[in-house]
Amino acid sequence: MGQRQHSGTDLAWAVLGGDPRLAERVTYGGPPGLLPARLPVMDLARTTVAVCALAAAELTAERTGGPVPAVRVDDGAVATAFLSDRLVRIDGRAPSTFAPLSRFWRTADGWVRTHANYPHHHARLLSALGLPEAAGPAEVEAELAGRRAEEVQETVYSAGGLAVAARTPEEWAAHPQGVTVAAHPLLTVETLDDGTPPRLLAGTGEQGGAPSPLAGGPSLPAAGLRVLDLTRVLAGPVATRTLALLGADVLRIDAPALPESQDAHSDTGFGKRSTALDLGSRSGRATFESLLADADVVVTGYRPGALDRYGLAPEALAERRPGLVVARVSAWGDDGPWGDRRGFDSLVQVATGIAAVEADAGPASEDAKASEESTARGGIPGALPAQALDHGTGYLLAAAVLRGLTERARVGGSGVATLALTRTARWLVHGLGGPERGDGPAADAPAGEAAPGYDAERYLRETDSPVGRLRYALPPVSFDGGPVDWATPPGRCAADAPRWR
């Protein structure tokens, strides 16, 4: 391992506000041919992991006063981690990634994709379509076959459900939300000059700070830091899982009425604790405020504005906790006509044209134009070999937090980072070179298991946990002296007390 590749790393690091000279600290290696797709998915994956690891290395140097450790990116570790939600096993059982009603459906004029993994989304979908609660795929298929894709999309959305009509990249570029997204960079980072002086990190002299383990053993750049995690599947939890790896005390908060899937948490809950708080109640708000008073970071992953009524807008949080680093991620972005809509990776792929690019165009036509024409003719839309928008955005989100902590230590103030799956999708389709940069159609085997030199078992481990024996993917974030695994396995959702360690 030692090859230096520039791909998108320099650009992403520059968008994060990092010193461009530090990008030379990153080397790449590992087996080739992983995460095959028409689009450059592997470039996206290694780039996002690289900048996350580099931000962690930079923060380590800030805390120790030493040089920035060298960063190593192993494609095998990266590809395996991007499939962590599919590779996790609980007592040998593979969790269900998608529910029966979360899939593509043929409509009268094209295709639509629905998402019904959560019970409330399942119920809203069926209600919007006028179908009984017991309806299954056959009934939904028959109902949608006679409807137009756009009409289904709007009807289901109006009922609080999730459905998106399939589009080509050109159609998305002309869509009002696509136009809005194109006006933004990959991510935005804003410093709120609230007069807060540079805040020393815990373990480096801050009054009341916990002792830092940096004097010996693995370097934990986030040791002593406290992170409130208000996110859901999948980008946000990947980011906070990474912060937990790096030593942060991460406390995940869910609403009692909308608990997270235990299977999902068994993948993304490593190193964290999980609690439930009703922010609509007086006691729940009081508990949250006591946690916020000692927090360093708040990460949110709900629709823009959804948490504002609880006083959780970034500016409101920073006003009550000066020096806070706030990171937020959404599906469609924080403005535009779809800014307040729910969304997931699979739906963003469909809306932005990724599914059209990755469509099965048949053996005679393998280029992107042919695949889009195939979709228009009725060919089945495709999908990326991993939920790469979620995972990639998650590592960018963690990188933004780490860079925000470094800047807080240097110049003070509060920081706000904003990301969206649609921005990452646009970067994948346009910023990283587009379909001509990919490796060809996705293989049937996940992560390119037939790729020469790739042995998935090398990047997997097993551990006991409160929910059973877990098989899981090792973290791909790696730098000299850094951690190689999480300190604790996931626990049960909402089983922990709402307090800091």
| 304-313 pLDDT per residue, tens | 989 999 999 9
| 38-93 pLDDT per residue, tens | 999 999 999 999 999 999 999 999 999 999 999 999 999 999 999 999 999 999 99
Query: Looking at the predicted structure, is the pLDDT value of residue 202 above 70?
Result: no
Please give the DSSP secondary-structure letter assigned to residue 437.
Answer: G
pLDDT at 435: 65
The gap between the terminal CA atoms of the chain, to the nearest Å, is 38
| pLDDT-based confidence at residue 205 (cuts at 50, 70, 90) | very low
For Cα atoms 53, 55, 58, give the angle at the middle one, nearest 5 degrees. Answer: 110
Query: Looking at the predicted structure, is the pLDDT value of residue 3 above 90?
Result: no
Rounded Cα gap, residues 43 and 40, in angstroms: 5
Mean pLDDT of the chain: 90
Query: Looking at the predicted structure, is the pLDDT value of residue 138 above 80?
Result: yes
Integer Rg of the chain from CA: 22
| pLDDT-based confidence at residue 193 (cuts at 50, 70, 90) | confident
Q: How far is CA 283 from the centre of its chain?
A: 31
pLDDT at 363: 36
User: 3-state DSSP: the chain helix, strand, coil percent, rounded to 5?
Assistant: 40, 15, 45
| pLDDT-based confidence at residue 338 (cuts at 50, 70, 90) | very high
Structure-token match 């963690």, residue found: 398
Structure-token match 């799956």, residue found: 421
Rounded Cα gap, residues 443 and 285, in angstroms: 48
| 444-457 pLDDT per residue, tens | 445 555 678 899 99
Q: Helix, strand, or coil here: 93? A: strand
The least confident of 230-244, 350-364, 427-441 is: 427-441
Higher pLDDT, 451 or 373: 451
Query: Looking at the predicted structure, is the pLDDT value of residue 375 above 80?
Result: no
What are φ and ψ of residue 340, in 5° steps?
-100, 15
pLDDT at 309: 92
| pLDDT-based confidence at residue 8 (cuts at 50, 70, 90) | confident
Q: How far is CA 157 from the centre of its chain?
A: 23
Query: Looking at the predicted structure, is the pLDDT value of residue 378 above 80?
Result: no
For 418, residues 6+ apart whose C-beta sits below 8 A from its C-beta are 187, 188, 190, 327, 328, 329, 334
Query: Looking at the predicted structure, is the pLDDT value of residue 491 above 70?
Result: yes
C-alpha dihedral (300, 306, 307, 308), degrees to nearest 10:
120
Q: How far is CA 170 from the centre of its chain?
A: 25
**Contact 38/440 with Cβ under 8 angstroms?**
yes
C-alpha dihedral (114, 303, 11, 389), degrees to nearest 10:
-20
For 212, residues 6+ apart whose C-beta sits below 8 A from its C-beta are 63, 201, 202, 203, 204, 220, 223, 224
